[in-house]
Amino acid sequence: MAFLELAALAKTYPDGTRAVKGIDFAAAQGEFVVLLGPSGCGKTTTLRMVAGLELPSAGTIRLAGADVTALPPSARDVGFVFQFYALYPHLTVAENIAFPLACARMPKHARDVAVANIARRLGLTGLLQKKPRELSGGDQQRVALGRAMVRRPAIWLMDEPLGTLDADRRLAMCEFLREQQLAARVTTLYVTHDQEEAMRLADRIVVMKDGMIEQVGTPLEVYDEPATLFVAHFVGSPGMNFLEGERVGAGAVTLGVRPESVRVAAEEGPAGDGGTPALKGEVVLDEYSGIARCLHVRTDAGTLVARVAADAPTRLGARVRLEFDPARLRRFDRASGRRLS
Ligand code: ATP
């Protein structure tokens, strides 16, 4: 049975902005679900409605078997972390982290053990007696995470909680979050616009656009079997390449292929497998990223990106032939943007 269930959930703000346009979605107990989409697509509004900080204009929210649609945040047993954290300035780091446990009347000794454990995992042990004003922004954000995760509510709600951290810390915190969540099995709804973070963390990703859900799926499904042109382009770095394909019946078809599924061959070399579609072009950009290189190849059908090994011999200015494995091509209806096969 679903643990969190959103049914026909909608939010229109008083100024008429339709932030969320009637979405349906269910999460199982213990699932880590990421709401992913570009700025303004309605992720935060959805999360705030689950938290009880915004009242829906229509639809229902069920949490742990109860209809919580009209309940205030305090009656929902949710724990949240937002990008703009607010620590209690007059309390030490240890007291900030212990605060939710003190509210729940946990005995002091058990509280101290829980705080010491989480502080060790977050690298905050040496800072426990400091006040928030003595910490950097990144350290304060980690304290906020610790304070939220020291308790085990029905659901954790997180809105870009790693937003203020540098790249190194972000990776470490992703690991921490996932480990904590797997150990506690607390159902988690996490908002981000960063698709790499979404892939790294999620059991399932909900991709949103313009207040609607485009696709719900595992990271692999969303990457490999995108439901729409939007998902195919938004997920992946860089996103899928698109080629205008043949017309089928009345509708036009767009073909999609991931950069790693584009094979780069010498322009006049031996042809690939019989029947493999190919295009000729010139390498106009060569981006090195350590483990691979992205070659941008200008062809008559537009510029396509091919991901090749970091030590591949092809260089800027080379004339090449691009080949596509037909099994890796995805076909979309151009008018609706939905995938055909
Ligand atoms: P971001 O990642 O930038 O926060 P988001 O996907 O979380 O974006 P929301 O913050 O949910 O999107 O906003 C969805 C839409 O609702 C946007 O057009 C936004 O401008 C609008 N919006 C958000 N809050 C309000 C409000 N209080 N009043 C009016 N419009 C709002």
Q: Is the CB of 73 under 6 A from ligand 1?
A: no
Question: Which residue do the tokens 């988690």 mark?
Answer: 188
3-state secondary structure of 239: coil
Q: Place 149 in a pLDDT band, splitting at 50, 70 and 90.
A: confident
Residue bearing the CA closest to ligand 1, atom 16? 19
The answer to whether 111 and 101 have CB atoms below 8 angstroms apart is yes
Answer for the pair 4, 77: CB distance below 8 angstroms, yes or no: no
pLDDT tens-digit series, residues 226-277: 999 999 999 998 999 999 876 656 578 999 999 999 999 888 765 555 556 6
Residue-wise pLDDT tens digits, 265-322: 888 765 555 556 678 999 999 999 888 999 999 998 899 999 999 999 888 999 999 9
- Answer whether the bond into residue 107 is a cis peptide, omega within 30°: no
- When mean pLDDT is compared across 79-93, 146-160, 193-207, 288-302, the lowest value belongs to 79-93
The pLDDT value given to residue 11: 98
Global confidence as pTM? 0.90
The residue whose CA has the least distance to atom 20 of ligand 1 is 40
Ligand 1 mean position, distance from CA 50 (Å): 15
E strands, 224-301, in order:
241-248, 251-257, 262-266, 278-288, 292-299
**pLDDT at res. 148:** 87
Q: Would you state the pLDDT for residue 190?
A: 96
What does the pLDDT average to over 51-60? 96
User: Which pLDDT score, from 0 to 100, does residue 175 have?
Assistant: 86
Residue 160 CA: which ligand 1 atom is closest? 2
Q: How far is the CA of 35 from the centre of ligand 1 (A)?
A: 14
Nearest to 326 by CA among 271, 260, 261: 261
